[in-house]
Structure 1
Amino acid sequence: MTLISEKGYAGASVEDIAEHADVARGTFFNHFPRKEALISAWVEARQERLMERLALAGLGRCGSERERPSPADGLRQCLAVLGALNEEEPELSRAMLTAWVQTGRPLEEEPYLGEILAELVAIGRARGEIATRLSSEQVGEALRDLYLGALYRWTRRAARSERPGRLSSELASALELVLHGLAVPERLAGDGRVEVLTKWRPPFGNRRPAEAEACRARPGVRGIGAVTAGQLDLALLCDDEGNGVRITVLGPLHGVAGGLSAEIVVDTPFVAGRLTLSLWRSRLTSWAEALDRLEAGEDVALLHVQRGPSVFIHLNGARHCPEVVVEDGLVSMTTVRVPIDLPADWVTTHRALLAAVLDGWDGHLSQT
């Protein structure tokens, strides 16, 4: 690798590399079937070093929850490690990055870095510290793109004999822009850094039928979020044991005509979390049919999405009471079962909630 640092990947032939390593050309091919295999070896070694340093920083996949820093600090540390890895061997990093791009590797390899970043984002979403407008995978991919873009610019400046500057500083500045975009404005610190990226909202709100207001008033219900102007609840399932599942329509689905953006909020004394989903008129029609079947005593899927979150209601669950099952089959691959002692008239309440959503968004919804 020393020779590649000096001559660049293209400028160092197999013969040059073998001579520099004091081995025969055939010996080189015993270890590497072709020159391009050096790129794969470098990428694998870089991945190992990255995982080792993340583990030391408490960000390893096997690290305990208590040892982990906050999600925002975790993302900062991850990008700081990436910057340091490149700055420790700047010539080699630039040479191998150039070769990595020229040989088409970004299009062929699995985006392992995006997966690592998505895991950090998912932890923040589960803690209620990162907004849920986008999936963890989308944010992870965006952060990977941010890293690669900064890395490309850093490499290009050096190739033009310009001062490349500190890669780690550029990464830190770019990340702060993203964190500010993810943050709830009220929680930004005075110095511009993000203290906590979002916060839980207390229960249910003030714009719903009287039956839902009675649910909100139950003393055991913990706060799983108040709707704000322009938002409508589609489901309010809660009991006096502190268990709750809420589905809220947030507004139009950005960039997609005829759809609505919504979120599922689960809150129990043991587990809490949020998931985003998209709604269409066809799904709301299926919702109405599911309520009819529930009233007839059938277990149903209130919302079943092949590539997204699903919600099922079992009228006689494992604890011999109604059970709401929330499945996240796309991001966290997690299933949460919430036993909820529902009032006798809860189906009537939810027909009223559905009617309010359909009436409020009738002109916007498509049949997709």
Structure 2
Amino acid sequence: MLPVGVLTPMAEGLGTTPGTAGYSLTITGLVAAITAPVVPRLLGDFDRRAVVAVAMVLLAAGNALTALAQDFTLLVVSRTVLGIGMGVVWSLAAVIAPRLVTPRHAALAVSLAVSGVAAASVIGVPLGTLIGEAFGWRSAFGTLTASALLLAAALLIALPKLPKPAPTPDAARTGGRPLLRTPAVVVGLTVVVFLVTAHFAAYTFIRPVLETSTGISAAAIAAVLLTYGVFGLIGNFTSGALAAKRSRATVLLLALGILVAVAVLALFSALAAVAIAAIVVWGLAYGGVSVAGQIWMTRSATGNEENATGLYVGVFNASIALGAFLGGTVFELAGMTPLLWTAAALAFIALTTGLLGPGPSTSTREEAPEKIPCPSP
């Protein structure tokens, strides 16, 4: 997410345009989209804790290469490495979390794990913007490199061993059905495609939009992005609680919030107060998309969670890539306002698809928690 906050100086440092620099999100998202669905099928009996730690080392390497990049070619390489690591992390994090708690706390566990996505906005983007303004955009990526290495070590220390999950009774009943032949899964993925594409088409270029329309300073933009992130974090936990009971209704409410926020921004972006209010609503709505969509998918494919999550993460990241690419293209060819209306139209399609199609089951089951040995002191 960091390129969002440092897009303008990053483009200048690489000798390219903001639209082209914005494609860095496309590269990462596309690689993660390819990696995530494959990961659950290749892991076998590998300890999931070790796999996630190795993925964090890959994230560190990708950020280090980004900090060193002098042109767009090396940026492509760095963001490819980053995408591989990100695909592994995303495909496992939301599946690992429920294994550490009892079923009644599964939704909260997923919310905590997926809150990292919202924290990327709360901490990563605004802090990266401030570091970039003070010490240069390369320093921001260097900070992420060190953080990822520390996190890799912390994961090995803090998590118990996580072997391949044992088959469940539900897996015997539903695991043989192809995920893409399950109506609720297909509808959920379709909603995610349009909603995430809409979000990243517009949000990738939020800094140029604010600079052009409102004329506010870089420091003020960092504050706006921080506010967006704070409300995104609130939206994450609120949506997780709501989606645990009604995942479909929650996703539709979030889609409506994004649609309204982007449309208001398209109409009144020149009014700083209105634009900031729209961004707050946008953060509150989008902050819950990851966790609510994750719960939609696991409820739609009970017993096949790892593969369903891998597919979901793949589609999610492909949509990030598509959104950043679409946003960069429309922004370069038509400008800010057509870009915002394009995003609003995509959010409307997501909302309509979710309203017309079937959703996941709302039933929940109480089971004994999976027994996982705790790490030695």
Structure number with higher relative contact order (C-alpha < 8 Å, ≥ 6 residues apart): 2
TM-score by length of 2: 0.31
Structure with higher strand content? 1
State the structure with more CA Rg: 1
Structure with higher helix content? 2
TM-score by length of 1: 0.31
